[in-house]
Structure 1
Amino acid sequence: MGFFDSFAPPIPPQRPRRPRLPPWRGPQRNILPVALPVDVLLIRNETKAVYVNGFDVYPYGFAFTVTTVVHTPGSDAVRRQPVPFPRTANPFAGLSPRGGEPPTPEEIEQAFRVGVRYSDGRACEVEGRGRRSGETRPPEQPLVSLTSGHGSESEWTQGLWVWGIPATGDLELTYRWPAEQARESLVLLDGDLLRDAAAHAVTLWDEPQDEGDGDARG
């Protein structure tokens, strides 16, 4: 008899079931999205470059990433002490609470700002990090939310989620970063391309809808 045969098998810990993320807060795992070949350089100066790519379109919205790369001319120094929150490379740092403290008005004003606008005039700026507890009804469209992000002092990749695909017209992605002297500019996204991609996203399996889940074609 082996050593472990004399013991009862371990009982795995019971983990509470995480509530399903509502579709207005992020992509659903039962959908295979359609990837779009969209790569746009937003900002480039002597110290930073910002670009967007990784567009995945779902039936009710789309996800994409904003990547910031930091360049320090003439310096080969390597910082060996990691920072707990890489505010150097994260353009959204001025929008996210740190240590329970809300950002100051100055930080918000100088932070990277991004939002979307439909052709009918409806618009939304990106919301800060975090989910709202107890949400049961879909918000007005569009809604732009931060999702997961990762990086270091020299590079940061941040996911964003846009709830709602316009039923007609194109979509404007507007941005600015005052701290980097980047004035307000926009990227025009082809609405027909978005709608066609949304129609070809594949539902892998059916999942029960939570109360309040609704159509995101606005």
Structure 2
Amino acid sequence: MPPQMVGGQALGPVVMARSGRGVVVVRQVLAFPTGVLIEVEAHGRGTWSDSDLDGSPLRFSIRFGDGRVAVLDDDAGLRNGQGPMLHAYQTQSSGGGPDASEEIQMSLWLWPLPPAGPVGVTCSWVSAGIGSAELVLDGDALCSAAEQAEPFWPAQ
């Protein structure tokens, strides 16, 4: 979970993936001393069905430059105490109507702050025709942005 701070702006907005039936947009990436918040929204047309009610069809994973990997909501990185871990901190979705449209908003919390080097963020949304798409973040830029994070309230 993000700390009580204003995160340092690292990136955004950027279209991560697009198909004839869906689009995934990274609205912003905020860096903190303890991790990274990735705010995502997705829009689909003809993608929603009652079978989607059991969870988001969007899938995400992260690969650090040193080879460590985290899959959305797999807590292996937390159990080993070294990370990484990728958690859906907040999720909202709606869908339906005659065009079977779907809208998803997710806030993904990545722990810990990645080391220097490339950080691959991969998503897939099969029902929207997105098999796999990758956005590569710069670990150095994330570390620099984390240095710009400020506490909500000054220390007393």
What TM-score, normalized by structure 1, do the two folds share? 0.57
Matched pairs, number: 145
Secondary structure in 1 aligned to 2:132?
strand
Gaps of 5+ in 1: 1-25, 73-86, 97-110, 208-218
Q: What is the CA–CA distance in structure 1 between the aligned matches of 2:150 and 2:80, rounded to whole Å? A: 22
Deviations 1:110-160 (A, max 9, x none): x322111111100110007xx9xxxx9883311100011224214221111
Matches within 5 A, 1:34-49: 34-49=8-23
Counterpart in the other structure of 1:52: 26
1:168: Cα distance to partner? Answer: 2.3
Secondary structure in 1 aligned to 2:3?
coil
Establish whether residue 150 from structure 1 lines up as the match of residue 92 from structure 2: yes
Deviations 1:90-125 (A, max 9, x none): xx86556xxxxxxxxxxxxxx322111111100110
Identical pairs, percent: 23
Q: 1:171 aligns with which of 98, 115, 119?
A: 119
The structure whose residues are more often strand, as a share, is 2
Counterpart in the other structure of 2:71: 125
Cα 1:41/1:191, change in 2 over 3 Å: same
Cα 1:122/1:48, change in 2 over 3 Å: same
Q: What is the CA–CA distance in structure 2 between the aligned matches of 1:120 and 1:49, rounded to whole Å? A: 29
Counterpart in the other structure of 1:199: 147
Amino acid at match of 2:3: Q
CA RMSD of aligned residues (A): 3.0
Secondary structure in 2 aligned to 1:161?
strand
1:50: Cα distance to partner? Answer: 1.6
Whose relative contact order is higher, 1 or 2, with alpha carbons under 8 Å and at least 6 apart? 2
Gaps of 5+ in 2: 96-101
Cα 1:93/1:117, change in 2 over 3 Å: farther
What TM-score, normalized by structure 2, do the two folds share? 0.76
Secondary structure in 2 aligned to 1:195?
helix
1:88: Cα distance to partner? Answer: 2.7
Q: What is the CA–CA distance in structure 1 between the aligned matches of 2:116 and 2:141, rounded to whole Å? A: 11
1:196: Cα distance to partner? Answer: 0.4
Amino acid at match of 2:90: S
Q: What is the CA–CA distance in structure 2 between the aligned matches of 1:119 and 1:65, rounded to whole Å? A: 21
